[in-house]
């Protein structure tokens, strides 16, 4: 399914390195325009982060990850959201249309 992700290989690799460094053991799904053929080179990348037990992530780790993203040379905005704090209606929408970037 990763081939549906509109993301250059080098940017995907950078992102995966940061995710594994700052948020190990977290499943990462991509949703939004990058997987539904409505994106362009500068479109933001929407991520949802899912802990193994679907409980809230450690805010310090999430903040450190977001800071590392800002300091990286990934040339577009990456929006990372914690699954545990999203509304149930958003869960259902993401479950219908997503690509797994990092599986647990």
Radius of gyration for the chain, computed over Cα atoms and rounded to the nearest angstrom: 13
For 73, the domain range is 2-102
pLDDT in tens, 61-101: 999 999 999 999 999 999 999 999 999 999 999 999 999 99
Number of separate domains in the chain: 1
- Confidence band (pLDDT; 50, 70, 90) for 4? confident
Determine how many CB atoms are found less than 10 A away from the CB of residue 71.
9
Check which CATH number belongs to the domain holding 75 and give it.
3.30.460.10
Q: What is the model's pTM?
A: 0.90
- Is residue 35 within 8 A of residue 6, CB to CB? The reply is yes
pLDDT in tens, 47-66: 999 999 999 999 999 999 99
Give the angle subtended at the CA of 83 by the CAs of 96 and 95, to the nearest 5°. Answer: 5
């Amino acid at each position: 399914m990763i081939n549906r992700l509109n993301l250059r290989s080098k940017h995907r690799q950078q992102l995966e390195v940061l995710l594994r460094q700052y948020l190990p053991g977290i499943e990462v799904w991509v949703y939004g325009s990058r997987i539904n053929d409505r994106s362009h080179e500068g479109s933001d990348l929407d991520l949802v982060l899912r802990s193994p037990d679907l409980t809230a992530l450690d805010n310090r780790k999430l903040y450190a990850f977001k800071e590392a993203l800002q300091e990286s040379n990934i040339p577009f905005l990456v929006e990372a959201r914690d699954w545990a704090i999203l509304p149930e209606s958003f869960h259902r929408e993401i479950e219908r249309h997503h690509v797994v970037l990092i599986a647990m």
